[in-house]
Amino acid sequence: MESTTGCLVTVSVGLIREIREMQELFYGAEIVPASFGFSSSLFPPQIIDNINADLSGAKLLDYLLLSIVKNRLSSVSLQPVGDSVLVTGRAAGVTKELGAFEPGYYPELILHIRRMAKMNGLHETSARGVLAFRLKGRTLHYQVCMLRGEGGDYVTIKLHLSSTFPSTLSEIGLSSEKEAEYRNLAAIDKGLLLFSMRDADERCRLMDLYLDERNTQGQTVLILGNNVGRGRKKFPRIPVSRNINELSAVIMATFDHDPDIIVIEDATDAYAFIAAGKAAMHGKLVMAGVSFGDVPVTFKNLIHYWQKNYFIPTFLKGVISLKGLVTLCPHCKESYAPSREETAALRIEVPIADCYRPKVARPANIPLRRTEISDGADCL
């Protein structure tokens, strides 16, 4: 423009604040209150207003946790679908819609849920955690499961059935012989100690129980994993991804810090198992979780690793495994005769006289009740 007109051209860009002030001066200010955008026919208008006033989604999470208890739902899910996020509840095998909200504030809600459930790994495909919720003086535990999907994470929340995991060794009810063996394993100072259970959550809690019962005063403990190390004692945590090569590198890098105890959440893979064995060879106590199953299956896998030269049996100090039992409510169970397939799967040769199974909680044709909940709950 300067070369064409011969004039001096000055470029001026208006600030967005100045442009908005000009618009308000000529057209008037329009005040639009921010809203979470939740809508539902099951919640009263007052509760919906309270939910929408909280842009973090914490109020919505609180009322959904209360709805699980009040309506006896087996789970509640957050499902990103197109330009909205559906909130569904499942009871007696039937899924029904509880409400929906706009996806604008959904990332903030996901971050809040992850923080409450102590879930790491923002870039992982799936994640699980447990959050605590206080209701009328009681503490309820909910399991949170996430799957990374298009448009946001797919979230399922349900009551955590394993919340009654023993907090002390005495609550397990071991025999005197078993307890003495456990105490002996809790006194070793070096070598490889395996914790073998298929359920990852219960395996991590079993490892936490060992750390709580063990004397760790004056020792350096490093936790490698996202879910283990959440017992009564607190130790430094090193989050690790599911990349086996990265996990092996992290295990080898711990030698530079000279820890006394290295806790590996999952060393089932051969490369992670080799790295755990090398750490034990350096004179460290290595607590490694493996998903082999019970003790006989664990020894079969160890023999296979031995034949592959993946580890030296001399450094193996013990295997700790726990078979979990799920008890049935005496008022919510019914007797039945197990089928031949069930007895074969359970390896039962003699038929059991009394067998029980849980009753269906409620018929599938009963609709969900309208939720009338006060604000008398606080989320931990």
- The Cα–Cα gap between 88 and 74 comes to 11
CATH code for position 69 = 3.30.450.90
Beta strand pairing status for 94-101 and 84-91?
A: antiparallel
Q: Residues 145, 221: one domain?
A: no
Q: Residues 223, 275: one domain?
A: yes
- Chain mean position to CA 294: 23
Model confidence pTM above 0.75:
no
Among 163, 187, 221, the domain boundary falls at: 163
> Is the residue at 36 inside a domain?
no
Angle at 107 between CA 105 and CA 110, to 5 degrees: 115
Q: Please give the backbone phi and psi of residue 66, each rounded to the nearest 5 degrees, phi first.
A: -70, -35
Task: Profile the chain (380 residues) by mean pLDDT over runs of 10 residues.
Answer: 88 82 80 80 89 89 89 90 90 87 89 84 74 82 87 87 66 81 90 90 87 91 88 87 79 90 92 90 92 87 88 89 67 78 70 70 45 39
Query: Could you tell me which of 346, 105, 301, 314 has the C-alpha nearest to residue 191?
Result: 314
How many structural domains comprise the chain? 3
Residue 348: domain span: 327-360
Res 78: pLDDT:
93
Do residues 90 and 73 make contact, with C-beta atoms less than 8 angstroms apart? yes
> Is the residue at 100 inside a domain?
yes
DSSP 165: -
Q: Residues 227, 315: one domain?
A: yes
What are the structure tokens assigned to 190, written together? 């070096």
> Is the residue at 281 inside a domain?
yes
Do residues 157 and 90 make contact, with C-beta atoms less than 8 angstroms apart? no
Q: Residues 234, 311: one domain?
A: yes
Q: Residues 201, 295: one domain?
A: yes
Res 362: pLDDT:
47
> Is the residue at 380 inside a domain?
no
Among 305, 320, 335, the domain boundary falls at: 320
Q: Please give the backbone phi and psi of residue 251, each rounded to the nearest 5 degrees, phi first.
A: -60, -45
Q: Residues 50, 151: one domain?
A: yes
- The Cα–Cα gap between 186 and 210 comes to 7
> Is the residue at 365 inside a domain?
no
Tell me which residue has tokens 């020894």.
Answer: 299
Q: Residues 150, 254: one domain?
A: no
> Is the residue at 65 inside a domain?
yes
> Is the residue at 285 inside a domain?
yes
Beta strand pairing status for 261-264 and 316-320?
A: unpaired
Do residues 52 and 36 make contact, with C-beta atoms less than 8 angstroms apart? yes
Q: Residues 179, 295: one domain?
A: yes
Longest dimension (CA), the chain: 105
